[in-house]
Amino acid sequence: MEALQTHQLTKTYGKKIVVDSVDLHIPEGTIFGFLGKNGAGKSTFINMVTGLIKPSSGSFEVLGQPEKRLESIQKEIGVLPDYSTFYDDLTAYHHLNYFQKLVKQSLSKQDIIHVLTQVGLEDAVHVKVKKYSFGMKKKLGIAQSIIHQPKLLFLDEPTSGVDANAVLNIHALIKEIAAQGTTILLTSHNLNEVEKLCDEIAIMNKGSIQTQGTMKQLREQYQQDIVIHIHHRSLSEKEQVHLQTSFTELVEKIQIEETSSEIIVASKEYIPHVNKQFVRQDIDVFRLEVEEPSLEEIFLNLE
């Protein structure tokens, strides 16, 4: 079953089209990266599928339920907004205890403390939120979004403003939650984070989904020439010339140096042939690296 699917989902304000006929399918149990520049339409899209605003046209289903029955499964949805607002004079424990009652849960004190421990707030369970740093509030927001064990979880910038150790803990938690069957829709300006965590990625631009796929699919779609970096034993000038000559018909561009070479080919099918050429000439290869476009490069090159 799809955790979320939309059919020509559209939102307009007057003559301005904010979300334009979006078809999106997110399988259950995946971590799905949802990217786009500011103003691309991401927030409006999420607000529609979570019931905060009405679509102008099109339809959607969440956890198998159509828009008209969204209220019946809203308790199975968790949301972490970019900026969470809390009550200054309540502790983390009291926040979660209050929120679990709103969603009609019946967790014990130990269950609540366990959730706070999961997000790294075990030392601040009974500290009032007015004493929390921004990063600690971010962790509390995550705890609040998962306290009811949602089947679909929206995470907006889950690691912004937190320290490096906390980032690693949150990444591990996101993977753990997904492994338990929860579908996660993740938005983040940290493209390296999205690249590491997400099973599939969609990039939105001017209200439309411009591209979608796994990192492997996106790389294959947007990679042009294949750049191969080879670190090898020291070559004499004569060997360098001979090696360069042997690649004339195989490569697009070549640069042979004493201990390293850069070779550009048109397709990944040529990579084994490049390696074989070094072997034929009895040149020891210590490392062969294929340069691949990062998500950041793909994102920035999209118009």
Q: What is the CATH number of the domain that holds 77?
A: 3.40.50.300
Closest CA to 145 of 172, 179, 174: 174
Distance CA 215, CA 276 (A): 28
Q: Is residue 134 part of a domain?
A: no
Output the CA angle 160-161-164, nearest 5 degrees. Answer: 90
Specify whether 203 is located in the same domain as 274: no
pTM here is 0.81
Q: Is residue 36 part of a domain?
A: yes
Specify whether 77 is located in the same domain as 33: yes
The two structure tokens encoding residue 27? 């399988």
pLDDT in tens, 16-75: 999 999 999 999 999 999 998 888 899 899 999 998 999 999 999 999 999 889 888 888
Domain end: 158, 181, 213, which one? 213
Average pLDDT over residues 243-267: 88
Specify whether 150 is located in the same domain as 293: no
Specify whether 201 is located in the same domain as 263: no
Q: Is residue 110 part of a domain?
A: no
Distance CA 234, CA 164 (A): 40
pLDDT exceeds cutoff 80 at 83: no
For residue 139, give Cα distances in angstroms to 79, 81, 197, 240.
13, 12, 18, 56
pLDDT at residue number 303: 58
Average pLDDT over residues 126-140: 91
Q: Which residues pair with 261 in a beta bridge?
A: 230, 256
pLDDT at residue number 71: 85
pLDDT in tens, 182-203: 999 999 888 889 999 999 999 9
Q: Give the confidence band of 141 by pLDDT, cuts at 50, 70, 90.
A: very high
Ordered DSSP codes for 50-110:
TTSS--SEEEEEETTEEGGGGGGGGGGEEEE-SS----TTSBHHHHHHHHHHHTT----HH
Domain end: 213, 247, 269, which one? 213
- Proportion of the chain above pLDDT 70, given as a percent: 100
Specify whether 155 is located in the same domain as 290: no
pLDDT at residue number 85: 86
Specify whether 16 is located in the same domain as 56: yes
Q: Give the confidence band of 146 by pLDDT, cuts at 50, 70, 90.
A: very high
Q: Which helix (H) or strand (E) holds 7?
A: strand 2-13
pLDDT in tens, 256-285: 999 999 999 888 888 899 999 999 999 999
Q: Which residues pair with 264 in a beta bridge?
A: 227, 253
Coil, strand or helix at 134: helix
Q: Is residue 255 part of a domain?
A: yes
Q: Give the confidence band of 251 by pLDDT, cuts at 50, 70, 90.
A: confident
Tell me the residue range of the domain where 23 lies.
2-83+146-213
Domain count, the chain: 2
pLDDT at residue number 81: 85
Average pLDDT, the chain: 90
Distance CA 38, CA 178 (A): 27
pLDDT exceeds cutoff 80 at 301: no
